[in-house]
Structure 1
């Protein structure tokens, strides 16, 4: 959601742009050939990732597809966009950094041994969470893995990154707080009995 706009993605292969005030659909965005698995809105542009292994960059105002990014070989499960670069993670165990204007993959970040389900991107670092139970911190310029964060026992389903502090929620019912500069776990929060 951004301002008065809400974006939804669906199993019907479309995205919809909604007016949050009156609930009306402004645009239906067509182009994906399978389920839309993830979206990320930045200003007036949205990036979508799909089971069709592609990403699409859309203009929210016009509904036009501006760019198509191809290179994953399985479903795209998570995406982040900062207005300059797109970062995507997929069922092919890969994380990719893209220049959407040229539709070029700048880096393919390899190291996970299972599907990538969650991402955070702050312009300097990419953080990826996988079904392999690890979280990896990557340097966006070099494409190198800076740290592998271990301690979770299952899938990291959600993360938030701010000021070099990462909070990760995991299906092992814990929340962990990390310093991504050092790779150290600062806190483990446990209080739920169900997966997060």
Structure 2
């Protein structure tokens, strides 16, 4: 390395300032990040002064280099000089930091379609950072109560700012949770499960009386009623072309929801299912299987004895992955991961729970109290373990703090029936029909 520096310096001495910039640009492009520091120290040692290599580079290259730093080091670099302060203020850097915080791959479609926040990427990142601090400390910032259902909430699904809830009061309600408004009420029978697709603007719901319904979200028009099960339906799942439901008798039926055509009846003995494009993942008492649609052939099978809790984690992980890319198979290492056993150990007493698998969080109910568990606070995903839970052993359930404590006495008296969460909110459905939105984002 020392001989290489001597060679570089001998070439560097004979160049004027502009040529030095061009020379350094080509050199830095070939350097690893740690070699840039070594090069700068070598220049200083040989009497060339504290030449600012980074500040002399073209802005787009300086931004790429600074984007490798974490937020703490970026804040330290901005104090070095005005040039570095201007570089660290570049919105391209903070956009990448926002994607990292939201666990979104920068090449994914959702990243490319993200709109520029009105306050700018840097201030938006600061807001998200404060939200993360609130998450880690279990501090809810605001609580909004939605009322409309008259009986227990049987299921709830949250996507972006739309919440769909099914209830035993014979209604499905569609809510805009930003405004707290019930957009539409859909009537039918006592509903056991719901699902919906924002891109297709459809809602699906199944009843305890063996039927499933498909509605248009915008108009409320009933598009289809599907029948075929001989017992109550326990789970329903939608994709762009298909709807599948499983009943308490273990049967799994797939329809084309656009035409109402029944495509397959699969004796899967399934207790839970989830559609990924043209593949159905199902859980039975002892295994997880994947079936191809529409022929119903089993294309993947793995032993699995971790029950609904382990299944819920896997399903949420795969859902977060399939939101970015189409599924090309189901990773065996997740299904067979021994770390799922640690989740079971932590949450074995929880009957109501939900995961933010991408963010490494879990919300559960213990003795009527909402608790937050951080599953992978310090761990980063890697190639061999798509979602590693290396420090789940040390995670301890944390009781959620309500703002000024005024909601704790009220909400902890209610019986929780459903939980649903995204990267900033927790939706709680109660036996009474009340829905609480717990928001961790600072106002």
Normalising by the residue count of structure 1, what TM-score does the alignment of the two structures yield? 0.79
Determine if the alignment matches structure 1 residue 191 to structure 2 residue 342.
yes
Which one of the candidate residues 64, 72, 82 is aligned to 2:221?
64
CA separation of 1:111/1:21 partners in 2, compared to 1, >3 Å: closer, same or farther?
closer
**Structure 2 length normalisation: TM-score?**
0.37
Equivalence for 2:330: 165
The equivalent of 1:42 in structure 2 is 197
What is the rounded CA distance, in whole Å, between the counterparts of 2:165 and 2:277 in structure 1?
25
Higher strand residue share: 1
SS at match of 1:72: coil
Classify 1:98/1:122 alpha carbon distance in 2 versus 1 (closer, same or farther; 3 Å): same
Query: 1:127 aligned to 263, 281, 284, which one?
Result: 281
Deviation, structure 1 residue 157: 4.8
Q: Structure 2: which 5+ runs fail to align?
A: 1-157, 351-443
Instruction: Give 1:166 deviation, angstroms.
Output: 5.3
Match among 165, 180, 186 for residue 8 of structure 1: 165
Give the superposition deviation at 1:22. 1.7
Corresponding residue number in structure 2 for 1:148: 301
Count the aligned residue pairs: 175
1:51 aligns with 2:51: no
SS at match of 1:177: helix
CA RMSD of the aligned region, Å? 2.2
Residues 33-112 of structure 1 aligned to structure 2 (within 5 Å):
34=190, 36-43=191-198, 44-112=201-269
Higher relative contact order (CA 8 A, sep 6+): 2
Q: What is the Cα deviation at residue 146 of structure 1?
A: 2.6
Alpha-carbon offset, residue 60 of structure 1: 1.1
**Aligned counterpart in structure 1 of residue 177 of structure 2, from 20, 24, 27:** 20
Q: Per the alignment, in what secondary structure is the counterpart of residue 165 of structure 1?
A: coil
Cα 1:151/1:31, change in 2 over 3 Å: closer
